[in-house]
Structure 1
Amino acid sequence: MKTLTYWILWALIVTSCQSKNDQTKNNQSQNQSTQKKEVEEDEQPEYVKAITQDKMKATLRDYCEKLNNEAYEAAIRDNFSPKVGQYIGMRNVTPAQIAAEVNRFLSTKKQVNYQVDLDKLKVKGYLAKVPLSFSWRGYYAKVLLELSFDANYKIAFYKEAKVFDKAVVTFVQREFSESYKGCEPHSNGCVHYTLSYPEIIKAPAYLIDKLPKKPTTYGSPAMGVIHKITSPEAVVDTLHHWFSKHSIGNNWWIEDATSLTETKYLVTVENNSSWFVGQARPETFVQIDHYDKFTGKKIELADLLIDDSLEDFEQVAFQTVMGEKEGDETCRDIFYLSNAFRILDAGIQLCYSYAIGLPKPCLPNGYEVIVPYEKFKYIIRKDGLLKDKIR
């Protein structure tokens, strides 16, 4: 009996060892297979790797562009695999399911903007990592995407693996729009007033005093006395009262919009006002203030450039505006740099106001001018906000 027991124990030990050996062999086989695949990927010709990256970039670029154009269904349908293992928190889903959720979430947002940093795209076979910045009115974030693509270079796995940056300001965009007795804005005989501004909910102490406050008076800031009216409804009544006493123009109106946006380094407040109250043509006023996101310091145009180079930038801007007519000395004498500027992907956009009493520079192509980075990269600060624009 003891002999039989020993034989059974011995058989169990042998079987266990054999199982462990088989498992070890399987693991070794899998590791060898993975290593072989990695070697094969590393040994791919450079032109194959380049084609792979280009196709992935095209997919990501199309995805972001369609989201930015509010084509949410197309953004998913055209760029995702028929079966997606993961999309953020959703698992094992179809493009239709993803599109429904994206549409539900983003359709309520305004100023949606998605941007992938394709210069930092890292690819290994069908796997990729790339930084993604996304924002909408009242929110900004930057994350690291982990992706996998199918054989057609459609996205089969989409995960926000790491958060790099988040918005420091929380706000709700408030809006008011009213016309006299419900008339159609800009129609003959109609008076209307629209107002939009961010109501700050939360912001760092070093920024809070520099951000827009909830209005206590209404009307356009550039219009003097009408800005002292104490309710938005009263602006409409006041405008109509003035309009009824004057025969100049077919309609009177004021439109006043203030927006707040965040990027990786900046919080930007932009006010655009326009009004028509009987003058020869509508007047416009633009003010744009940029603040360092982490210190609250106001960022001027000169802060983006090397020391004592603002005059050089002005000359480049004038040449960009005038083109072949840059020799026009009269225009050169009255040209000036606007304090209102936007930092765009393509360059610095100078924005000029048009109002009675303001200087009128020679601007043959409108009141917004983009100065491409390529034209002034030699004076961009290497340690400044535009350092990534130096190639």
Structure 2
Amino acid sequence: MTWVTGAEGSPYGVHNLPYGVFRTADREPRVGVRVGDLVLDLGGAEAAGLVLAAGALGRPRLNEFLALGRPQWTAVRQRITELLTDSAHRAAVEPLLVPLAEVELLLPFEVADYVDFYSSEHHAANVGQIFRPGQPPLLPNWKHLPIGYHGRAGTVVVSGTPVVRPQGQRATPQGPVTGPSVRLDIEAEVGFVVGVPSPLGRPVAAGDFAEHVFGVVLVNDWSARDIQAWEYQPLGPFLGKSFATSVSAWVTPLEALGAAFVPAPDQDPPVADYLRDEPHLGLDLSLTVEWNGERVSQPPFATMYWTPAQQLAHLTVNGASLRTGDLYASGTVSGPERHQVGSFLELTWGGTEPVKVGGGETRTFLEDGDTVTITATAPGPDGTTLALGEVTGTIFPAR
């Protein structure tokens, strides 16, 4: 139970408590935690001696707090829960609660490195059928290692930031042309935020996932399919992906997701030793994709073939170091049914089957002015439900 008005029964109740960074007209950027439709000013709470976090909560990014490690993350979460549930603290804490409608939410952490994976078997198989009809949908290496690529950390933006239509080269029957993308797409993903770094040359074991990863964000990996198709031969994604990647303003800590870990899909053939994660667990997250306000898909994260722990082990197996603020994303989340896919490439089957969106219009790919919003829920403790912070973006014309 909580004394905070409106928080009891909310998917953002005290069983959730996601972290973000906010500012108001009279508050410089600092760390906050969401409870109901309010934001607890953790910078102010630490300044008042209500929470101890080595001064990290008054900072304009979460990075200093992320670097403190799991024992400190646990202690701060327990203290915040105590402050919001014990009415003895109400007089001191209530003045530090700010209505969500009065705050500006900022990028919650400075992104150090960004890696994006390709971990849904259903998504990979769909893409294979679209681009390689009549051939095996999965390439030979796909079930042996989590496929991924390094993205551009500097173009990761917070939810709500306008997405300018990218320009680049694309193929036409008359030859390559340069101009705005005409096959602009989304990828509904889940991202994992690294707190504790690792030294160069030392792989991180799958079993150490929870010691390094602080929490989860929703991700929209905007994708220019025409630019991507022309440039990716023989290398991987480059300009078709690097113009913008949107993340939610709230980072849900792993500790809030304890009830959401479920057995992951069986893997056949057996994986390499460094990829064995025991227990082999994924997350039961239910995503929803809305296109101009119309629900068009509900991707299930529990179907992902490669787990977050396996992804972390793979991206460091060669000795690559982790840095505080690293973000790695799951890749497009798609289930076995058409209404469960996480990209419009799949939803419209390569642009051949238009779908209805808000306002009664039809689409194959994104047009200027379109808005996409991705939300997600997860099971919480004692039968509760928690929400992950949404990620939304609107397409602006090319410049």
> Structure 1 length normalisation: TM-score?
0.29
Structure ranking higher in helix proportion: 1
Q: Higher RCO, 1 or 2 (CA under 8 Å, sep at least 6)? A: 2
- Structure having the higher Rg: 1
